Structure 1
Amino acid sequence: MGDISNTQYFRAVQEEKKMEVSQVLREVYEALTEKGYNPINQIVGYIMSGDPTYITSHKSARSLIMKVERDEILEELMENYINTRLK
């Protein structure tokens, strides 16, 4: 048994690297397109309702989009729109 007066350190398993929202959107867009869905309608439906069934499970797109918050998706979309259209 070791010295109980010393604090032991626990090294957690390294967390999965967080994907950028733009990368998530790109992959979800591609999966929706491949399955023949209108990706804009489907992503808007998901953002508005929070219902993940708007997103196909093809290429794990549904689980991927659920890793980011809907407000982060909306923020990414608005920032991109403002930077490309209004500036």
Structure 2
Amino acid sequence: MSGVSNETMKFKVEKENVNEAKEIIFNVYKSLEEKGYNPINQMIGYILSGDPTYITSYNNARSLIRKLERDELLEELLKNYLKTQE
């Protein structure tokens, strides 16, 4: 075998990071909007590429979003999306 496991890996994000992620997402969204960017497109670009230049430095948004791993951002977005679908 090539060393690939068939077991499902478990991923866990600490609860305090989730609250921080939510706050950062809203602050970055607002900063992008205020600067005239499409916040959704810019944040998707950042999450997919990891390139911080998708995020404006206005209101320290670029530094804020880099405090979190991209997987933390995705987790927060997915959880909130699924909550709205119930």
Instruction: Sort the TM-score into its range (normalised by shorter chain).
Output: 0.7 to 0.9
Structure 1: segments with no counterpart, 5+ residues: 1-17
Normalising by structure 2, we get a TM-score of 0.77
Higher percent of residues as helix: 2
Normalising by structure 1, we get a TM-score of 0.77
The aligned residue for residue 22 of structure 2 is 22
The aligned residue for residue 83 of structure 2 is 83
Write out per-residue CA displacement over residues 12-50 of structure 1, whole angstroms, 9 at most, x where no aligned residue.
Answer: xxxxxx661000001000100000000000000000000
The aligned residue for residue 74 of structure 1 is 74
Q: Segments of 4+ in structure 1 off by > 4 A?
A: none
Aligned CA-pair RMSD: 1.5
The aligned residue for residue 38 of structure 1 is 38
Q: Rg larger in 1 or in 2?
A: 1
Query: Structure 2 CA distance, aligned partners of 1:53 and 1:26?
Result: 18
Deviation, structure 1 residue 80: 0.4
The aligned residue for residue 56 of structure 2 is 56
Deviation, structure 1 residue 72: 0.3
Query: Structure 1 CA distance, aligned partners of 2:70 and 2:58?
Result: 20
Query: Structure 2 CA distance, aligned partners of 1:44 and 1:31?
Result: 15
Letter aligned with residue 39 of structure 1: P
Percent of residue pairs identical: 61
